[in-house]
Amino acid sequence: MTKYVPALVTGSVVSVAISFVLGLAASASGQPPSLSTWLPGMIFGVITAFVMANLVGTKGSKAATPAQKEAALAFRAEPGQALLIVFREGFVGKAVGLNLMLDGVAAAQLKSPRFTALSIAPGAHTLSAGFGGLAASQNRPVEEAFTAAAGDLVAFRAVMSMGMAKNTIRLERVDDRASLASKLKAMIMVAPHAPAGAATQQV
């Protein structure tokens, strides 16, 4: 819970500040304190705290170099490797970083619209996507198993579907290279995290 303290403090400050200003305005006009004096401040304070709590865990991701993006758009993997591309689009939770894990190792974090690309070893892999912070309790994470051969291009589109109780994250396989290239060209590419082992490496 300590990770949410800054969000709660900021929300409280916003609430007090707005209520104070509205209280001064009411006093200046000769109106007695009322529900309308502190309710707006409370509402905006709660909204501020909620938004900031959802952003807990969102990091400033490093943009890829032009050379990395050029290689990704050419769908070139390292010799003897396969190329994995994951992109995110859509407006739901776009400012909250979506954590990507490949075989249990952190691969990248994507806001929307963003993409990342990794050269991966041939064989079976598991890609997972999920949020941190308060957003984790509102969105179901997802896992997708796939197998890649040397020279393969494996691409997934990460999207979110609204639900009654929880939103659902989906990883959709994309096979149309022309459509994929068109989408990625307009997006910022996020550099993948430094590999922890030999399973993945930056393009």
Using one digit for the tens of pLDDT, what is the confidence trace for 58-114? 676 788 899 989 999 999 888 999 999 999 988 766 778 899 999 999 999 998 899
Secondary structure of residue 89 in the 3-state scheme: coil
Q: How many CB atoms lie within 10 A of CB 83?
A: 22
Burial (CB < 10 A; 0-12, 13-18, 19+), residue 99, is buried
Please give the pLDDT value at position 102: 96
- Separation CA 74–CA 98 (nearest Å): 25
Average pLDDT over residues 16-22: 68
d(C-alpha 43, C-alpha 169), whole Å:
29
User: What would the pLDDT profile of 136-184 be if each residue is shown by its tens digit?
Assistant: 556 678 999 999 999 999 999 998 776 555 677 889 999 999 999 999 9
Residues 6+ apart with CB under 8 A from 26: 32, 33, 34, 36, 37
What angle do helix axes 35-54 and 5-28 make, rounded to 10 degrees? 160
Given a cut of 90, is residue 124 above it in pLDDT? yes
pTM (whole model) above 0.85: no
Cβ atoms < 10 Å from Cβ of 172: 10
